[in-house]
Structure 1
């Protein structure tokens, strides 16, 4: 079986690269989809492509609309959605992606530190698996790709 996996969430660490490298190293039949992880590019795409805005709300609105094309396409294509919540920032967009994935009936894997268990309890309740680190996520993917 081949899976399409969307890696959503925190963009300030190398967790996506770890998963990509592991899928290649273990020759897993997985296609990886990602959002734009370049923070500046993601924030500036609307104004840069469609024109500047005087008010920050409209600048952000344009960027969010353009970015949502990529996010929604990836969420719709994915068999599995992995959402990682980092400790440094509140990732409202990650929680939103987890909700959309659940509404679309996608298999959801959530990753976060133990300290975030309480604030993410509703997200965790919707997940098929809740991992505490990227290594656990990789092991889940390896398990799913095993022929038995």
Structure 2
């Protein structure tokens, strides 16, 4: 059995690569998918496809259409969603992806530090598992495959 795992969260550091490398080291039978990690491409995809937009608001709206298309397809194909919330960045997309996973009845592993417990209490209550670190999320995935 192999699982498709959608990694929701900010794209400003390499948390996904670290998690993927550890999963490889654990030999977990998973395929990771997620949002476009190239921030510049994510911001510019609307203009790359539709052409130059007249202002920054319309540029953002055009890009969001293609990013939402990608997210919708990959979230629907996923077996599990891991949503990371951290201290450094505001996590609007993580919240949206976690809520979508809940609405689609996808199992959700929520990663958040204890300091964000109150702010994320409702999402945490809907998640199957809430953990504080990516390593704990990987341990949860690993447990699925134990016999």
TM over 0.5: yes
Partner of 2:80: 80
CA contact (8 A) 2:85 2:111 kept: yes
Q: Aligned pair 1:24/2:32, yes or no?
A: no
Partner of 2:111: 111
TM-score scaled to structure 2, two decimals? 0.94
Partner of 1:67: 67
Alpha-carbon shift at residue 46 of structure 1 (Å): 0.6
Aligned counterparts of 1:29 and 1:76: Cα–Cα separation in 2? 19
Partner of 1:130: 130
Partner of 2:141: 141
Unaligned runs of 5+ in 1: none
Aligned counterparts of 2:141 and 2:94: Cα–Cα separation in 1? 20
CA contact (8 A) 2:83 2:109 kept: yes
Runs of 4+ aligned structure 1 residues displaced above 4 Å come to: none
Partner of 1:92: 92
